[in-house]
Amino acid sequence: MQDASGSGMLMIKTGDTRYRAMKPAALLLMEAGQFGWSSGLDDGWRKGPWTPQEDKLLIEHVDIHGEGRWNSVSRLTGLKRSGKSCRLRWVNYLRPDLKRGKITPHEETIILELHARWGNRWSTIARSLPGRTDNEIKNYWRTHFKKAKPTKASDRAQARARFLRQQQQGLQHNDDNQQQQHQHQLQLQEAERAIKGMMPQAQVAANIAQEMQELAIMFPAFSMFQAADCSAGSTSEEGSAWGSLWNLDDIGPGRPGLTATFVIVGPRVELTRPGSKSSAGSRPVTGPDPDARPSSGSGPIRASTRRPELGPKAWFDPGFGAFPGPERAQARPSPIRTPGWA
DNA sequence: AACGATCGCAACCGCCAACTC
DNA sequence: CGAGTTGGCGGTTGCGATCGT
pLDDT along chain A (342 residues), means of 10: 31 32 37 41 75 86 83 84 86 82 83 81 83 85 64 43 45 43 48 39 40 38 34 34 33 31 37 32 30 30 34 29 30 32 34
pLDDT at A6: 29
pLDDT at A23: 34
pLDDT at A135: 84
Amino acid A5 CA to nucleotide B2 C1' distance, rounded Å: 24
pLDDT at A42: 56
Quickly list DSSP for A200-268.
-HHHHHHHHHHHHHHHHHH-GGGGGG-GGGS-TT--SHHHHHTTTEEEEET-STT-TT-EEEEEEETTE
pLDDT at A88: 85
**Rounded CA separation A149/A155 (Å):** 7
Amino acid A259 CA to nucleotide B9 C1' distance, rounded Å: 38
pLDDT at A49: 82
Q: Residue A182: helix, strand or coil by DSSP?
A: helix
Residue nearest to nucleotide B15 (CA to C1'): A298
pLDDT at A43: 64
Strand partners, A269: A264, A316
pLDDT at A41: 60
pLDDT at A181: 47
A321 touches strand B (CB under 7 A): no
Looking across all nucleic acid strands, the nucleotide with the smallest C1' to CA distance from residue A342 is: C5
A304 touches strand B (CB under 7 A): yes
Q: Is the pTM of this model over 0.85?
A: no
